[in-house]
Amino acid sequence: MSNRQHTTETMEEEKWDITLTSKESFLSIPWREMFRYRDLLLMFVKRDVIIIYKQTILGPIWFFIQPILTTIVYIVVFGGIAGLSTDKVPKALFYSAGIVMWNYFSESLMLTSKTFLENANLFGKVYFPRILMPVSKMTSGFLKFLVQFLFFILVLIFYVVTGTEVHMNYHILFVPLLVALLAVLGLGIGVIFTSLTTKYRDLTFLIQFGVSLAMYATPVIYPLSSVPEKYRSYILLNPVTYLVEGFRYAFLGAGMWSWSGIGYAAAVASVVLVCGVLIFNKVEKTFMDTV
């Protein structure tokens, strides 16, 4: 038997566990593969949570310190010096509610926007569903959100116990929906930017600057009710506005709950996610040649 015949027969007998092709639809999401690699997803999440505070003295306590310090700064600067309204809500409650929601959105966006650039070496060495990486960033951000949400609840309990009137209402039941929409928005926008930064590195600077500015276009440090009428329509174009205001309304009774606004946010989140997946699937096939 010739070597050529032996090689052909050997190739025919081989069975591959995974066959990598580039024929999938741009809109396809590898759900089965993501489930198959769920242990890897958990490992990525664990890595993201541990590495941040691995060599720090206080460790995970920083999850609490960050919102506490941010809230204090906002109280002094925006509530005290600038004298911005908080809709008659105690400043600590008002600002901590906005911080919890905004931090989850901004961090999900920022972390997922660095997926390709920060993991190029890993992507070039081993195969796994690439979409798993930005999903892990969103998941690790959610764990941090839970810790900061606990801080908000402790502040809320303190004010309730001390006799402050807080108008919690049944809209609390829909808060998970608001958080889910924040996650989808952050993931979708982040995936779009990480795909584009493989060719246009300038976007890494733009997104850092843009996210900082976007906070001021969102009612985090001020209530929507204090925005002058001529500017309010611009603030309402921001889908995060409805989610932050809805969160405050559910727990504090201050702010705005708008089902049409939440529907608008859901529509924007869906479109952004679909566009993000489309661009991500297209770029991931060739990004190693450009990154």
Mind listing the pLDDT tens digit for each residue in 243-287?
Answer: 999 999 999 988 899 999 999 999 999 999 988 888 877 777 665
**pLDDT band at residue 38 under the 50/70/90 scheme:** confident
Q: What letter does residue 213 receive in the DSSP assignment? A: H
Residue 15 resides in a domain: no
How far apart are alpha carbons 65 and 50 in whole angstroms? Answer: 17
Residue 219 resides in a domain: yes
Residue 4 resides in a domain: no
Residue 32 resides in a domain: no
**pLDDT tens digits, 183-233:** 999 999 988 888 888 777 767 778 888 888 889 999 999 999 888 888 899
- Number of structural domains (the chain) is 1
Tokens matching residue 35: 């489930």
Q: At what angle do helices 62-74 and 91-112 cross, to 10 degrees?
A: 120
Residue 5 resides in a domain: no
pTM: 0.82
Reference 244, options 260, 222, 263; nearest CA is 222
Residue ranges making up the domain that contains 182? 41-289
Residue 96 resides in a domain: yes
How far apart are alpha carbons 276 and 270 in whole angstroms? Answer: 10
Tokens matching residue 152: 């908000």
**How many residues are given for the chain?**
291
Task: Give the pLDDT of residue 11.
Answer: 46
Residue 2 resides in a domain: no
Residue 30 resides in a domain: no
- Residue in this structure with the two tokens 């733009």, named with its chain if needed: 206
